[in-house]
Each structure stands twice: as structure tokens, then as C-alpha cells.
Structure 1
Amino acid sequence: MAQRSQQSSLAKAYLLLYNIGQTIGWSCILFLSLQHYLITKSWVGLYRHSYIQLLLEVFQTLAYLEVLHCVLGLVKSNWFLTAVQIFSRVFLTWGVVWSIPEVQDGWFVACFLLPWTLTEIIRYSFYALNLLNSVPYFLIWCRYTFFIVLYPIGVSGELFTQFSALPYIKKTAIYTYPLPNRMNMSFDYYTVVIILMLSYIPLFPMLYFHMIGQRKKVLRGLSEKKED
């Protein structure tokens, strides 16, 4: 029993450090983003400003640890859904923006980067404070309200970024493995990106309205507690 309690305490401490670390990382991205805008009066070129690219790559890729958290039972979330959501972001980060310099200075990069940043600061600070049982109502409200605007803007930015990358992908055949070859199989990166873009059609409404439902459930529950 004591061993279980110790393991639980260690897991809680680890999750607390992880969520605090992610909050700090994304807060640095927000700070540098605002710095870029104050200097240039534009969101164009945001990705290349200071350490934004490095911070995005590090903290977005680290999010894959959350799949492990699910598998190990450290958090009560579906590991598959978590993996799918993280994959779409990591793919955009590395498979599109990092791989294709032509899209890095586009204004549409800011359209997904800023919503991601605000969402993650709210989400990870919520998780950290929840582990300490001290989440203020304001943060709960932000977590279940800001997505209403941020999610559609972020998805639009993701799609614009991928769409703008298609001409370069087609022209250079980057990451494409055509026939004939020794393995007798082909891989068309251009087609893969298009398929991933099309996957937003069923997935976005499903996830968006799921979150709307969660918002009603959580905020209604808080209102009932206040009345009691």
C-alpha cells in the first residue's frame, strides 16, 4: 500500500513538472511572438523570429509523451485519440513547415501558431493546477471557452499552410519514393498531404462539437455547485 502511494506521488510530481515545463515553453513562444509583432508590426516571418522555431519543435514533439502517459495509466485519456491529435500537429511542424522553407514566412503560419500557443498555455496550466486541486474558475472558463474561436482559426491556419506547401511538394517530389525501385512499392508525399487535409472534413466537426458538449457539461456542473 505504501509502495503504491509512493508511486502515485512520484507520478503526480512527474506530471506536475511536465505540465509546468510545457506551460513555460509555450509561454516563451507567446512572449517571442508578441515581441516579433511589436518590432515588425506584422505576423509575417513569425516562425523564423528568435527561438520560436526551436521552441515549437521541442515542445510540440515532447507532447508525444502524453501518449505514453495514457498507455501507462498516468492520465485517464484515450491513447489513440491523443496520438492522432498530436500526430497532426507534429506532422505539420516537421513534415510541412520545417521541411518546406517556402511556407515558413507565410502569414498563415501565425494563424495556427498563435491559437496553438494560447490553447496550450491554458491547457497545461489547467492540468498543473488541477494536480494541486486549485484550478480557479476563470481558468476553467478559459479552457472550455477559448477553443470556440481558437480551434477554427487554428485549423484554418493548418489547412492554408498545407495547401500552400503542395506546389513545392509536387515540384520537388520531396519525401516521395516512386516506382520502379527495389522494394517494388511507391510513396507519394503529395497524395499523403492531400489525404491528411481531407481528413479534417470529418474530424474537425466531430472534435469541435464534442468539445462544445464538454463545455456545457463542465460549466453547468460548476454552476450547480455554486448554487448548492
Structure 2
Amino acid sequence: MPSTCAYQMLLGSGSREDSIVEEAWGLWFSADSAIWFPSLWMGIRGGGSGAEDTLGIVPSSVVLTSFQVMSRVFLIWAVTHSVKEVQSEDSVLLFVIAWTITEIIRYSFYTFSLLNHLPYLIKWARYTLFIVLYPMGVSGELLTIYAALPFVRQAGLYSISLPNKYNFSFDYHAFLILIMISYIPIFPQLYFHMIHQRRKILSHTEEHKKFE
């Protein structure tokens, strides 16, 4: 864990807020940081992607990107971080690898596009490798949620039972099942949106080459 002096040099010292942030700082340097820090960063960058879409900096579907962002943040914090037992599952590694490769390709594509010097290989990778990476990531996400279900039920995690003064109940176990079901209508939209984009963009590139 970083020393207090090193932390104070970076963020200052003396306030209650500093001590709170210092706890969070220490969390990322725990034994789990090899997974959680990169995963959090990908979630944050996903949020940046949503903002970039809204501002028109990059060409993507705002609705579909928003779903990706929310699903990633939810999976990181509300499932994998909250249910320690699933952190050693192979499915976690599956979606982390898929996310990592996807984001490397995505931001290489965005960077070279903004520089008006986009290599065809990166464009091809952006609109081709998702064919494998998207199902791989979704499979990892769903398998991780499924693995968490028995632990969530046993611990009653995030669930609210009756009676209580608000006369309100919430079953987090059932909510996770609904989340899994929601992938059925949403994932095909995302996937076939990319298939459509691939046909349009790569075919346009091929036609452009013929005229050169």
C-alpha cells in the first residue's frame, strides 16, 4: 500500500475527505487490484465513451453505448466486487479479457480517426473482432451473474424483506435473474447494430479502394 507521505504529495492532507479517499486508494493496491483497477478504468472509459457519443466526438449509438456502460459498472461493483466468492471464477477472466481487447481496439480506432490517419487494419479489427469478443464478453458476464446467484440468496445480499416501516420489499436474487433475462432482447440489438455497421463501413472502404 502506498505510504501516507506519497499519498499526501498526490492529493494533499489534513482533511476528513483525504482519509476517506486514502482508504479507497489503499483498496486498489490490495491483492485484487490486478483485476479491479483495470476493470474500473474500463468502466470509467466506457462512461467517457458515452459522453463522447453525446457530444458527437465519436460515431456510436448513445443508447447502446449507455447499456454497455451501465452493464459493466453494475457487473464490476454490484456483482463481482460484492460477491467475493465469484472473483476466482474463470468467467471473470473471460469478460475482463474481452473488455480489454475491445477497448484497446476501440480507442486505437478513435485516436487514429481523430488524427485523420486511420490504418485499414485497425478499422478492420474494430468492425470484425467484435464477432468473437462480444459473445465472449457477454458469456463471461452471464456466467458470473449465474455463479453469484446462490451466494446472493444465501446471504440475502441487498435484499429488503417485509415487514418494514416502508412496506417495501426487494429481492436482489430475483433482480439479478431479470438482469440476465434482459440480455435476450438487448444483446442482439447491439450485436446486429455492429454487423450492420461492419457491412456499411468495410464495403464502403472496399469500394473506395477500387476507385483509387
TM-score (norm 2): 0.79
Q: Which amino acid aligns with 1:173?
A: G
Structure 1: gaps of 5 or more residues = 1-47
- Residues 159, 72 of structure 1: alpha-carbon distance in 2 compared, 3 angstrom cutoff: same
Alignment match of 1:133 (pick from 94, 116, 121): 116
CA contact (8 A) 2:92 2:140 kept: yes
Relative contact order: is structure 1 or structure 2 higher (C-alpha 8 Å, sep ≥ 6)?
A: 1
Task: Report what 1:205 is aligned to.
Answer: 188
Answer yes or no: is the 8 Å Cα contact 2:42–2:103 preserved in 1: no
Answering whether residue 150 of structure 2 is matched by residue 167 of structure 1, we say: yes
List runs of 5+ in structure 2 lacking aligned partners: 1-30
Q: Shift of the alpha carbon at 1:211? A: 1.1
> Does 2:96 align with 1:113?
yes
Select 1:122's aligned residue among 100, 105, 119: 105
Please give the alpha-carbon distance, in whole angstroms, between the structure 1 residues aligned to 2:55 and 2:38. 27
Q: Could you tell me which residue of structure 2 aligns to residue 84 of structure 1? A: 67
1:75, CA displacement in angstroms? 4.4
Residue 131 of structure 1 aligns with an amino acid whose one-letter code is L
Q: CA deviation at 1:206?
A: 2.1
Q: Which amino acid aligns with 1:63?
A: G
Worse-superposed segment, 63-72 or 135-144: 63-72
Residues 73/143 of structure 1: CA separation in 2 closer, same or farther (3 Å cut): closer
Give the share of equivalent positions with the same residue, in percent. Answer: 48
Q: What RMSD in Å do the two structures reach over aligned CA positions?
A: 1.8
Offset from partner CA, 1:154-200 (integer Å, 9 cap, x none): 11111110000000000001111122222221221111110010011
Mapped contact 2:50–2:65 kept (Cα < 8 A): yes
The letter for the 2-side match of 1:219 is L
Does the alignment pair 1:149 with 2:132? yes
Comparing 97-106 with 58-67, which one deviates more in the overlay?
Answer: 58-67
| Counterpart secondary structure, 1:82 | helix
1:9-20 maps to which residues of 2 (within 5 A)?
Answer: none
Q: Which segment is superposed worse, 69-78 or 167-176?
A: 69-78
Shift, 1:70, TM fit: 3.9
Most deviating of 63-72 and 145-154? 63-72
Task: Evaluate the alpha carbon distance shift between residue 185 and residue 49 of structure 1 in structure 2; reply closer, same or farther with a 3 A threshold.
Answer: closer
User: Aligned-pair distance for 1:51?
Assistant: 2.8
Distance 2:187 2:154 in 1: 29
Which amino acid is 2:139 matched to? S
CA deviations over 1:70-108 (Å, ceiling 9, x no partner): 444544544333222210111111111111110000111
**C-alpha distance in structure 2 between counterparts of 1:144 and 1:209, whole Å:** 12
**Bigger Rg over Cα:** 2
Aligned to 1:6: none
What CA deviation, in whole Å up to 9, does each residue of 1:23-63 have, x standing for no partner? Answer: xxxxxxxxxxxxxxxxxxxxxxxxx6653322212331342
Q: 1:183 to 1:199 in 2, by over 3 A?
A: same
Note the C-alpha offset of 1:111.
1.3
Change (3 A) 1:208 1:62: closer
Question: Are 1:103 and 2:86 counterparts?
Answer: yes
Change (3 A) 1:71 1:151: closer
Residue 63 of structure 1 aligns to a residue whose secondary structure is helix
